[in-house]
Amino acid sequence: MDGVPRLPDGEPAPASGELPDDALARLGDGPFGIYLHVPFCAVRCGYCDFNTYTLTELGPGASTADFAGTALAELDLARRVLGDAAPVVDTVFVGGGTPTLLPAPDLVRLLDGVRDRFGLASDAEVSTEANPDSVTPRASRCWPRAASRG
C-alpha cells in the first residue's frame, strides 16, 4: 500500500445510478429496505470505521441544514432508476454517523420522502441510530408520529 486511495476492482457505478438489467429483473423478489446514511458526527471516535465526518472536517459547503434536500434528491434518483416496479418499502433504517444531529423536522422529511416515492408497508420497521446527547424532546415526539403515519 502506498497510501494512495484507489477504486475497488470492477465497474464503477454510473453517474446516472443505472442498475444492470438482471438486478432490475429481481426487483420485488424479496423485502425492500432503504438505508439512509447521515455522515455527521460531533466528534470522530478513533476506533470507528464508519464513513462519517465532523462539520469542521467537511469544511465550507457542508451543512446539516442542506443534508435532507440532498438525500431527497438521491431518493428521486432511486425512484427514477427503480421505476414503477419498485415494491413498497418494508424497512427504513437511518444510520450514520449520528442522524440525531439533523434537525428533527428533517428526519421526518426523509421518512416522508421514502413514503411519498415508494410507499411504506403498514407494518414497516422504521428505526434510527441516535446519540442520547442529541435527541431533543421534539425529535422524540415527532419521529414516532411520522413513522406511524399511514
Quick one: which H or E segment has residue 90?
strand 89-96
Query: Of 56, 123, 62, 64, whose CA–CA distance to 88 is shortest?
Result: 123
Mark the segment that binds ligand SF4 (CB under 6 A) among 18-26, 39-47, 60-68, 78-86.
Answer: 39-47
52 belongs to the binding site for ligand SF4 (CB under 6 A): yes
Mark the segment that binds ligand SF4 (CB under 6 A) among 17-25, 81-89, 90-98, 119-127.
Answer: 90-98
Q: Residue holding cell 429483473?
A: 25
Mark the segment that binds ligand SF4 (CB under 6 A) among 3-11, 25-33, 59-67, 96-104.
Answer: 96-104
Q: Which of 18, 44, 63, 74 binds ligand SF4 (CB under 6 A)?
A: 44
128 belongs to the binding site for ligand SF4 (CB under 6 A): no
41 belongs to the binding site for ligand SF4 (CB under 6 A): yes
Bridge partners of 92, per DSSP, are 34, 126
Q: What is the DSSP letter of 88?
A: P
Q: Residues interacting with ligand SF4, by CB under 6 A?
A: 41, 44-45, 48, 50, 52, 96-98
